Amino acid sequence: KEIESLIIEIVNEINTSLGMFQSVNKEVESGLDITNQTETSFKRISEMTNQIAGEIQNMNATVEQLTAGSQQISGASEQIASIAKESSASIQDIAASAEEQLASMEEISSSSETLSQMAEELRDMTKRFKID
């Protein structure tokens, strides 16, 4: 009977150990599942990070293009302002020349009137001196 009870005790111990191994095995499988899920999550994070990095590079390129365009517009605006200043100076010169020409024409007109009056006076004088 002693052997039989020892065998029963050993069988019980084996069953207990087997239950513990099965429990540990389930925990290991659960840990592996969590590890696999974590690996998948890290892969997704890595893919998204790479995608975001690509989008940031595209945005940087766009910003560089916008900056270059802005600089071109600024340069063109400066050229337009310079041309406008030159045009304004030329217009002022033309206006001054026109004023000078107008003054000269007024002087010529005045001189013409004076000459006309003098010619009239000369005619009147020559009428007095009639030669027969």
Express each pLDDT in 42-84 by its tens digit: 999 999 999 999 999 999 999 999 999 999 999 999 999 999 9
pLDDT, position 101:
96
82's tokens: 């310079």
pLDDT band at 130 (very low <50, low <70, confident <90, very high): low
- Per residue in 9-43, is it b (16+ CB within 10 Å) or e — as a string? eeeeeeeeeeeeeeeeeeeeeeeeeeeeeeeeeee
Express each pLDDT in 93-114 by its tens digit: 999 999 999 999 999 999 999 9
pLDDT, position 27:
92
pLDDT band at 87 (very low <50, low <70, confident <90, very high): very high
- Tell which wins on pLDDT, 129 or 116: 116
N-term to C-term CA, the chain: 194
Q: For the whole model, what pTM was predicted?
A: 0.49
pLDDT band at 129 (very low <50, low <70, confident <90, very high): confident
Cα 109 vs. chain centroid, distance in angstroms? 62
